[in-house]
Amino acid sequence: MPPGPPPIGFGAVCLRGFLAILFVAALAQGVYLEAIHAPEARFSETGFTELAQTGLLALATLLLLYVRFGLRMVPEVSLLLLAFVASSLIREQDAFLDAYVFDGAWQLLVTLIILPCLYAVIRRRRAFVAQFPGYANSFSFGLFAAGFLTTYVFSRLYGRSEMWEAILQERYLRTFKDAAEEVVELLGYALILLAVFELTLLARHWARARHAG
């Protein structure tokens, strides 16, 4: 089992918090500029919001590949996270895959990722259970849980057509519903990326401690 997370100094917390604020603010500004300057593409597959979602998930996938296969830390935990994030990345490409590969291609690709990873984790479930407390007590886990709830629970409920039809009534347009769901989803993916970044820093600390020991 890896050791607990290292203490983080006040200065490091302030710096990382400030950078996170800038990161989230830049995403929000990107959505604002999309709404103003790209009305024909806003909240579509070619708009800033959707492309940013893909970029965030792609970067998170690359970082998890580094943690799992480069640093080789918490291998079962990082493999499960990798399967989840990579599957989310593929799911975001559903329109492209359905149009240019075949209908249902993303479901097949996700299945080909999820099933082997789940099998590997279940096969080494004792190692997973031993590794999990070290991650569960970290800041990364809290961020990841927040990102998951934001993306896969709140955005789905907040973006329901019924809710926005009730709020806007005769002034309802689908754009409001799409904006609500996609922007909240973008925030959730941003939290997941921040969580993976924190995990990468934590895994590097564990790797250095392992080599020093």
Q: For position 206, what pLDDT does the model report? A: 87
Max CA separation in the chain (angstroms): 67
Query: Which tens digit of pLDDT belongs to each residue from 83-107?
Result: 999 999 999 998 888 888 888 889 9
User: Is 1 domain-assigned?
Assistant: no
Indicate the SS3 state at residue 73: coil
Residue 68 has pLDDT above 60, yes or no: yes
User: Is 2 domain-assigned?
Assistant: no
* Least confidently predicted of 20-24, 63-67, 198-202, 206-210: 206-210
User: Is 38 domain-assigned?
Assistant: yes
User: Is 5 domain-assigned?
Assistant: no
**pTM of the full predicted structure?**
0.92
Q: List the one residue out of 110, 77, 25 whose CA is nearest residue 33.
A: 25
Q: For position 3, what pLDDT does the model report? A: 61
Q: For position 213, what pLDDT does the model report? A: 59
Q: What is the mean pLDDT of the chain?
A: 91
Following DSSP, what letter does each residue of 3-52 receive, concatenated?
Answer: PPPPP--HHHHHHHHHHHHHHHHHHHHHHHHHHHH-TTTTTSTTSHHHHH
* Least confidently predicted of 145-149, 169-173, 200-204: 169-173
User: Is 130 domain-assigned?
Assistant: yes
Indicate the SS3 state at residue 102: coil
Grade residue 170 by pLDDT with cuts at 50, 70 and 90.
Answer: confident
User: Is 177 domain-assigned?
Assistant: yes
Residue 195 near residue 144 (C-beta atoms within 8 A): yes
Number of structural domains, the chain?
Answer: 1
User: Is 39 domain-assigned?
Assistant: yes
- What is the span of the domain harbouring residue 31? 10-212
User: Is 52 domain-assigned?
Assistant: yes
